[in-house]
Amino acid sequence: MVQINKNAAQIKATLVSNKRVGQYYQLIINIGNIANLCKPGNFVAISVGGEASPMVLRRAFAISRVSVSTAFGGTMELIVAPYGQGSMWLCAQAEGATLDVVVPLGTAFGIPTEPVQVLLVGGGYGSAPLFGLAETLNARGCRVDMLLGASTAGKIYAPMEGKRAVNSLRIYTEDGSMGQMGWVTDPIASLIADLNIAVIYSCGPMAMLSAINAITSGRDVVHQCAVEESMACGIGICMTCVLPVADETGAVSMLRSCIDGPVMDGAFVQWDKVGQAL
């Protein structure tokens, strides 16, 4: 493992709980003492399909939160949408199944050293890692406000849990089936001014992250985003998850989301060049 993944380990982990939550699945996986090394923003790479499967590449999943209990020891929670072949296989696994995982991987969200006003913005099930992040920020004394958005009500993950975790929660759906009709990015500019937001943390579709960056550009607000790029290996070897990112001098290079991310400073990602060859 490279330096960013110095704490990562490949282990056999037990699936202790598998529950359907709306359109998603909540998986609780026992990872023992490694739970103490996981931070908000980290992800896990899981071998899917079984030994005879043609799916040779691992699948990357964002860690929603970790916890330690007397019943299960150290566990991590994943929120998985059963859309692809690999995620469908994972969601079909029975409680007690053994999974081959590599964890923790990737960069984590930066936590303010002093209490500040923060805004969490999540799109669909991409919002799941923000709940564990909210707990960490609350412990630091930050005021935490949250925006959740999706195309329709069924794609909003755990709105009641969101209400319990933050000072205020607003929900936006494109069809108006839950909360207010519109885009989750609609109120951000006014909230920055009204609440004196210092940091925005975001997880969700790349178009949403790009829109947030356009709003924060030129403002005295830090935008930390967890980018959504497909990761084939998760450990920086295959180069399939590269993004154009500038450094402090303005020089642009292709960085790997799995090693230099998934959490990145949105101000440096070249959103207009994403998907283009440099």
**pLDDT at 119 (0 to 100):** 98
Residue 190's pLDDT band (cuts 50, 70, 90): very high
- pLDDT tens, position by position, 8-53: 999 999 999 999 988 899 999 999 999 999 999 999 999 998 887 8
Residue showing tokens 């896990």: 44
CA distances to 83, 135, 224, 265 from 261, in Å: 23, 21, 10, 9
Q: Which domains does the chain have, with CATH numbers?
A: 3-105 (2.40.30.10), 117-273 (3.40.50.80)
Helices (H), 52-205: 85-91, 128-139, 159-165, 188-195
Burial class (CB in 10 A: 0-12, 13-18, 19+), 250: exposed
Rounded to whole angstroms, what are the CA distances from 145 to 85, 195, 242?
35, 9, 31
Q: What is the pLDDT of residues 216-225, one digit of tens each?
A: 999 999 999 9
Find the range with the poorest average confidence among 112-126, 177-191, 195-209, 223-237. Answer: 223-237
Question: Comparing C-alpha atoms, which of 88, 90, 94, 145 is closest to residue 116?
Answer: 145
- Reading the block at residue 12, the tokens are 């056999």
pTM attached to this predicted model? 0.92
Residue 134 is predicted with a pLDDT of 95
